[in-house]
Amino acid sequence: MPKYCSVPNCKNDSGTGTDRKSFYKFPLQDPARLQQWLRNMRRENWTPSRHQYICHEHFAPSCFKVRWGIRYLESNAVPTVFQEAEVKPKEAPRGHIVKF
């Protein structure tokens, strides 16, 4: 079953491409850290399920340790690498839906 990254604007999933992507589950057992993750993702009001993942691209290299060629996520790692949130055109008045 393919895994998908739950980060807005991130299109990574495990089913496409040939480059290796790593997917990590959310720290559901650690609510404090989970909140940090969600805050960084700007999805604070969202609760991931145990079947949702975040891809390795959102973690700084220092979040990983490599042992025997296998990359592990540090147990206290928090994702900090996110694309800028989509910038809405300044011309559009706030709260208005522009119809074409």
- Give how far Cα 85 sits from Cα of 8, 13, 43, 81, 88, Å: 8, 20, 12, 12, 9
Note whether 38 binds Zn ion by CB under 5 A: no
Contact in structure between 72 and 52 (CB atoms under 8 Å): no
Scan residues 43-82 and list those touching Zn ion (CB under 5 A): 55
Spatial neighbors of 13 by CB under 8 A, at least 6 apart, are 2, 3, 4, 5
Contact in structure between 53 and 6 (CB atoms under 8 Å): yes
Note whether 10 binds Zn ion by CB under 5 A: yes
Note whether 41 binds Zn ion by CB under 5 A: no
Closest distance to Zn ion from the beta carbon of 69 (Å): 23
What secondary structure letter does DSSP report for 34? H
Among 3, 4, 5, 77, binds Zn ion (CB under 5 A): 5
Note whether 12 binds Zn ion by CB under 5 A: yes
| Count of residues in contact with Zn ion, rule CB under 5 A | 5
Could you tell me which stretch among 2-10, 14-22, 35-43, 84-92 binds Zn ion (CB under 5 A)? 2-10
- The closest alpha carbon to 59, from 86, 37, 35, belongs to 37
Note whether 7 binds Zn ion by CB under 5 A: yes
> Where do contacts with Zn ion occur on this chain (CB under 5 A)?
5, 7, 10, 12, 55
